[in-house]
Amino acid sequence: MRKKNRTTNKTLGIFLSLFLLSVFSLPACSPDHGKKTAMKAEKGEGDIVIGAVYPFSQKGAQFINGFNLAVDELNSRPDGVLGRKFKPIFRDDESSPKKSKEIAVEFARNHDLVAVLGHNTSVPAISASIVYENSQIVFITQRATSDHLTEHGFKFVFRNMTENSIFAQKIVDYVKRDAKNKKILVLAMNDSYGKDLSTMFQAFAKDAGIVIVGPITFNPWETKIKESFLRYANFIEETKFDDVFNSIFVAASNPFASKVIKVLRDLNVTGNIYSSEGLDDHELIEIAGDDAENVIFCTVKTPSGPKYEEFAARYRYKYGMEPDGWAAATYDSVHLLAYCMEKAGTTVPKTVAEVMHFMQDWPGVTGMHTFNSAGELLTEKPLAFKTVHEKELVFIEDIE
C-alpha cells in the first residue's frame, strides 16, 4: 500500500473542515434520506436511477460518450441489470463547488437515485462527496485526483483514477531527466487540488535534488492574473527571469491554468512549463493559443490490449471519434457499478458499496480494479505525457 507524508496538524485540519462541512450539509441531506432510498431500492422495482455529473458545457464529450455507451450496452442486454434498466439523470456542475453541492442535494432528495458518477474536478467532487456520504449514495469519480477526496474514511465514495501523489511523482521523474531543470518555479491554485498537487510535487522534487522557487499561490477569485503574478513574485515586467529559475510547474486545472500559461509567455518568461492532468482538454489551446505549444503535462495513458481495442472499436463506430483514457475510465465505472449491483443482488447503496470495497481484480477495459477501505483504486492507471504540437494535444511518445 502506498504511504503518504502528512503532518498531524494538516490531517486534523482536513478532518475539521470536513466535519464542519458535513454539519452544514445535514439539514439538506441526512441519513434519513439514505434510509428512504434504501427502502425503495429494496423493492427492486422500476428503472435503476443513476446520476451523471460533469461540466458538460466545458469539456464533457468524452465523459458523456463513455457513460452513454456503457449504459446502452447494459440496457440492451436481455436481462439488463437485475432485470431492470439504467435510467441516467444528467446534470452540469460547471466545475463549481456550490453548483455541485446543489446537484448533490437534489440527488439526495430523489429516493429513486442510488448512485452518481462524475463531479470530475477535485474541489466540486469533495464538496459533493460529503452530501453523498451523509445520504448513503454510491459516488464514483473518474477524474477528481486530489488525495483529500479519500482521506476521511467515507464508505460510499470511490475514485476510479490515480491520485495526485502519483501524478506528482511521475512529473518529477520526467523533469529530473533534464539537467537544466534544477530550479523550478511553482505556481499553485489555492484550492484543494492545487495545494495538494503543489505540496506533493515540492516534496518529491526536493528529494530529487530540484530547487523550488516559490511557491506563488493564486486565489480562485483572482481575475487579474498578470498583476497578481507580478505582485506576488515582486518581479518587474520585461525582466529576464532565467537566472532565478529555468522551469515552471503549474499546479492548477483549466481554465485558470491556461490563463496563467498565457500570462507567463506574455511576460516573456522562458523555460519549460510542466503540469498535470488538469490541462488535458482543448481549453489549453483555446485560451493560451500559440503560447500552449510545447507545454508538457502528465495525464492518463490511452489503454491497450484486446479488451480495450474492442471497446475502442465500438466507441469509434458509435461516435466517429477516438476515445481517450477518461472516456474509458467512465465506461469502466458504469460497468463496474452494474457488476457490483448484480454481485450484491440488489441496488441498495450500502450493500453495493460493501461489494465494491471487497471485490478483487474486476477486469475493465482500463485494467484490473480493486479498491481499498478508503475507496481508493489500488491498481494505478498507466500515465504518460502530452504536449501541444501544431495546435493539437498529442502524446509526446507519438511525436518523438
* CA 210 – CA 179 distance, rounded (Å): 10
> Residues spanned by CATH 3.40.50.2300 within the chain?
8-161+304-369, 165-300+384-398
pLDDT tens column, 110-126: 999 999 999 988 889 99
b (16+ CB within 10 A) / e for 335-356: bbbbbbbeebebbbbbbbbebb
* CA 35 – CA 38 distance, rounded (Å): 5
Domain 8-161+304-369 fold is: Rossmann fold (3.40.50)
Domain 165-300+384-398 fold is: Rossmann fold (3.40.50)
pLDDT tens column, 282-298: 889 999 999 999 999 99
pLDDT tens column, 171-191: 999 998 876 778 899 999 998
CA distances from 328 to 160, 194, 313, 381, 393 (A): 11, 25, 12, 11, 18
pLDDT in the model for residue 29? 57
pLDDT tens column, 127-171: 999 999 999 999 999 989 998 898 888 999 999 999 999 999 999
pLDDT in the model for residue 199? 95
* CA 93 – CA 240 distance, rounded (Å): 41
Q: 96 with 124: CB under 8 angstroms?
A: yes
In the chain, pLDDT over 90 holds for what percent of residues? 64
pLDDT in the model for residue 400? 59
Is 5 a residue whose pLDDT tops 50? no
For residue 148, give the DSSP letter: G
Mean pLDDT, residues 230-241:
59
pLDDT in the model for residue 55? 85
pLDDT tens column, 55-68: 876 667 889 999 99
Q: 149 with 125: CB under 8 angstroms?
A: yes
What cell does 273 get? 512549463
* CA 275 – CA 168 distance, rounded (Å): 9
